[in-house]
């Protein structure tokens, strides 16, 4: 589910409810997420005031003076702010109980997400090798072109590599490559510097627009207020196999690229 726009939408939704609040405790119903939830997380959070809610790549960081809780939503995770009495549904694996009677509740049927603890002044290994944020100045076509040199893997796969640039997953890789007019199967090393400049801008444009729309809801993504995201209505190729390209009318193609389903317009993308 969640790529950068969904995670950022989640961050913006929960931040005003969390910052300045004190955590009563972490209520864990199921520790078996991507990695077992360590006792250090509850110990790090309990009793401390929340200073901020940040996003790095597709990770959310809930900060206090002792460190940060790291949340990843995996494929099917979502967070909502609810009153503490709200009935618990299936797959709601933990609650962060706040001092104002609300809880931050985590829902994740597939349990590919995680909840980790990062002590202050420490960088968790998962965050150590991440590439630049798409909206940072260090992300540009020149960097993409340089890193792609000699790579034979498809450019779509390259764009989804979080060491190259963070936040781009299967949906937005397809959409950005469509916008840039690049065939997703093309070898990363065989895309020109000029076209990488176009692609970098396309990534920023697509992600920014998706954030404005509250992300993409395909099946179960919900914003923290329970509303779906509305970017699905604006998808140009993702999930549109056989349907006419919105630009030229050619049937949108689909095929697996690196084990992931991909969609593109064979006429607009070369």
- Return the active site residues: 2-3, 58, 260
The alpha helices in the chain, defined as continuous H runs, are: 4-18, 39-45, 125-128, 141-148, 155-159, 170-180, 193-212
Q: How far is C-alpha 82 from the chain's CA centre? A: 22
**Residue labelled with tokens 């829902």:** 107
N residues, the chain = 270
Q: Distance between CA 174 and CA 182 in Å, rounded?
A: 10
DSSP labels, 39-58: HHHHHHHTTPBP-EEEEETT
Which of 75, 82, 84, 198 forms a contact with DNA (CB under 7 A)? 75
The site map against DNA for 200-219 (x = CB under 7 A) is ---------------xxxxx
At its nearest, how many Å lie between DNA and the CB of residue 126? 5
Nearest to 56 by CA among 161, 127, 129: 127
Is 109 an interacting residue with respect to DNA (CB under 7 A)?
yes
Cβ-based nearer residue to DNA, 36 or 47 = 36
Which of 112, 143, 197, 230 forms a contact with DNA (CB under 7 A)? 112
Which of 162, 201, 205, 267 forms a contact with DNA (CB under 7 A)? 162
Crossing angle of helices 193-212 and 4-18, rounded to 10°: 40
Cβ-based nearer residue to DNA, 98 or 177 = 177
Is 128 an interacting residue with respect to DNA (CB under 7 A)?
no
Residues 228-247 that bind DNA (CB under 7 A): 229
Contacts with DNA, residue ranges (CB under 7 A): 1-3, 6, 32, 34, 57-58, 72, 74-76, 90-91, 109-112, 126, 150-153, 157-158, 160, 162, 169-171, 188, 215-221, 229, 258-261
């Amino acid at each position: 589910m969640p790529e950068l726009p969904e995670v950022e939408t989640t961050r913006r939704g929960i931040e005003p409810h969390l910052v300045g609040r004190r955590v009563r405790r972490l209520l864990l119903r199921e520790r078996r997420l991507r990695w077992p939830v360590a006792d250090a997380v509850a110990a790090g959070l309990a009793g401390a005031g929340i200073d901020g809610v940040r996003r790095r790549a597709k990770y959310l960081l809930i900060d206090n003076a002792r460190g940060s809780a790291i949340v990843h939503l995996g494929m099917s995770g979502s967070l909502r702010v609810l009153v503490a009495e709200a009935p618990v549904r299936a797959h709601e694996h933990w609650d962060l109980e706040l001092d104002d009677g609300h809880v931050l509740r985590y829902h994740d049927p597939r349990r590919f997400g995680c909840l980790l603890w990062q002590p202050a002044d420490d960088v968790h290994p998962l965050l150590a090798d991440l590439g630049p944020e798409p909206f940072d100045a260090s992300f540009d076509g020149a960097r993409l072109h340089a890193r792609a040199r000699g790579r034979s893997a498809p450019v779509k796969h390259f764009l989804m590599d979080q060491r190259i640039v963070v936040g781009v997953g299967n949906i937005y890789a397809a959409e950005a490559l469509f916008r840039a007019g690049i065939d997703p199967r093309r070898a990363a090393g065989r895309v020109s510097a000029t076209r990488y400049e176009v692609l970098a801008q396309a990534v920023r444009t697509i992600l920014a627009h998706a954030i404005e729309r509250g992300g993409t809801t395909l099946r179960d993504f919900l914003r923290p207020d329970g509303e779906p995201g509305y970017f699905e209505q604006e998808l140009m190729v993702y999930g549109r196999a056989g349907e006419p390209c919105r630009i030229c009318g050619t049937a949108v193609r689909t095929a697996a690229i690196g084990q992931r389903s991909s969609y593109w317009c064979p006429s607009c993308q070369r």
